[in-house]
Structure 1
Amino acid sequence: MSDFAGLTALVTGGASGIGRATAGLLAERGARVAVLDLDPSAVGPPLLAHRADVTDDTSVRTAVAAAVAGLGGLDVLVNNAGTGAQGTVEDNDDTEWQHVWDVNVVGMVRTTRAALPHLRRSAHAAIVNTCSIAATAGLPRRALYSATKGAVQSLTLAMAADHLPEGIRVNCVNPGTADTPWIGRLLAAADDPAAERAALEARQPTGRLVTAAEVAGAIAYLASPLSGATTGTALAVDGGMQGLRPRPVKR
């Protein structure tokens, strides 16, 4: 496909996992792509790489300006940078709540705010936010993370309403448990990594973790000019976890 030919895209958190898969896919489909990340050292051509800390407004504005200058404009913003947290409401202190909220929610605000003047000049402007199944399903020991992702889904709807008159579409993807470096670190820290992985796989009706490439495909769908009538949508990429209640398989 070449639906992104002639377009430019910016992906935050684009040095690994879902962000890296998304940046690569957009480039394969014709876009000129820049990546923003805390450590973009592993990113090489054809992707452009810029260091940015989404918790720092000056860092974000500087990186977005440099990326747009290098790209020659901006058509697509993928707000993918994020961090995780485990625990009930008792387990995370105020400092961790503030940090995760600052990355997952306010970080999207900072990046979008810096990108909007450039997106307004595009005839195919689109923003895609990476949300989570945690926004729509009650997951154990994910209170803080779920709170931020619930905010991201609501923020997506509000942004879609605000910027529709400007010709900017805003959507989000809601991945299930995805096979990313963060999940890999959680599994490595578990008492029984194999059993923990099996439990995560079992709660998704497909019986496996979501791949980064599958989430990237959904992001590309929402960002593509071919989806010009799609805005204010949360697209689940979760192996059926949100809506399906399959009957147990008899053995």
Structure 2
Amino acid sequence: MNPVCLITGAAGGIGAATARLLASRGARLVVADRDAEGLAAVAAELSPRTEVLARIIDLTVEAEVDALVEAAVTTFGGLDQVSLTAGMESPHGTLEELSLADYERVMAVNATSAFLCLKAVLPHMKRAGRGSIVSTASIAGLAAVPGQGVYSAAKHAMIGLTRAAAVEAGAFGVRVNAVLPGPIDTGMVTRIRAGSASTPVGGGTLLGRMGTPAEAAAVIAFLLSDGAAFVTNSYWTADGGRHQI
């Protein structure tokens, strides 16, 4: 039976690219996002290729996350893979310039949503004795990004949650890893770079270019797959070497 994969933040960018790649490999998909129009477009594109369950959701609301996971399990009989791809950048500004509301919103969309998804998904995977989860953090989770301090804090938190889940779930046969994209050609990165005082040519990477959503999705798909059966509690950068500069 082809695997069932839940993808959050599936309406665009890396999430949509991950959905397309997994659909091409025969995975049955549960795609979720708060962007109704974008999600509908992705679902319509992929439905001819595979089974798709689409849900418009606010991932910061526990009851909605729980209902999403229950719908996935009821529809497909279980969950094999989860890609936690939803996220947002911080309003550009120094820590003293940002409001508490700014901080709470960025932490909620990035870190709290990951916590709620892990909390809802892990019991099902533990009972099944198998499963793979990949969270999409960022190289901002390894070092501060000027003007994006709260975003950086949220991505540090995502890496911590990933590792905690891996430690707790490993004995049950569940793997949990993180992918840390760098300059990927998405709307989010475009907005972050627009607020930066300087924008490095080629994304400031060793490869001299920005990455594509499909390239980040390929790393996510590998970590979700049985090809990474002995990989857990790790993070993989997909940044063209940006973090090493």
- With the length of structure 2 as denominator, give the TM-score of the two structures: 0.89
Q: CA offsets per residue over residues 45-89 of structure 1, 9 Å max, x none?
A: 133211111111111111221122222310001111111112221
In structure 2, the residue matched to 1:133 is: 139
In structure 2, the residue matched to 1:35 is: 31
The 5 Å alignment of 1:200-239 reads 201-239=202-240
In structure 2, the residue matched to 1:242 is: 243
Specify the code of the residue in structure 1 equivalent to 2:3.
L
2:155 aligned with 1:156, yes or no?
no
Match of 1:21 among 17, 20, 28: 17
Go from structure 1 to structure 2 and tell me whether the alpha carbon gap of 1:238 and 1:178 turns closer, same or farther (over 3 Å shift).
Answer: same
Deviates more, 1:160-169 or 1:60-69: 60-69
In structure 2, the residue matched to 1:50 is: 55
Specify the code of the residue in structure 2 equivalent to 1:113.
K
Pairwise CA distance, 1:200: 6.0
CA distance in 1, matches of 2:32, 2:186: 18
The 5 Å alignment of 1:44-193 reads 44=44, 45=47, 46=50, 47-85=52-90, 86-122=92-128, 124-186=130-192
Q: How many residues align?
A: 235
Pairwise CA distance, 1:135: 1.1
For the residue of structure 1 that corresponds to 2:207, the secondary structure is: coil
Go from structure 1 to structure 2 and tell me whether the alpha carbon gap of 1:105 and 1:199 turns closer, same or farther (over 3 Å shift).
Answer: same
Specify the code of the residue in structure 2 equivalent to 1:50.
R
CA distance in 2, matches of 1:200, 1:13: 28
Deviates more, 1:200-209 or 1:172-181: 200-209
CA distance in 1, matches of 2:117, 2:156: 19
Say what the alpha-carbon RMSD is for the aligned residues.
2.0
CA distance in 2, matches of 1:126, 1:181: 27
Go from structure 1 to structure 2 and tell me whether the alpha carbon gap of 1:62 and 1:223 turns closer, same or farther (over 3 Å shift).
Answer: same
Name the structure where helix makes up a greater proportion of residues. 2
CA distance in 2, matches of 1:131, 1:186: 15
- With the length of structure 1 as denominator, give the TM-score of the two structures: 0.87
Q: CA offsets per residue over residues 141-162 of structure 1, 9 Å max, x none?
A: 1101000111111111111111
Go from structure 1 to structure 2 and tell me whether the alpha carbon gap of 1:29 and 1:124 turns closer, same or farther (over 3 Å shift).
Answer: farther
Deviates more, 1:125-134 or 1:55-64: 55-64
CA distance in 1, matches of 2:147, 2:201: 13
Pairwise CA distance, 1:117: 2.5
- The runs of at least 4 consecutive aligned structure 1 residues that moved more than 3 Å come to 121-124, 184-187
Pairwise CA distance, 1:138: 2.9
CA distance in 2, matches of 1:96, 1:27: 35
Pairwise CA distance, 1:124: 3.9
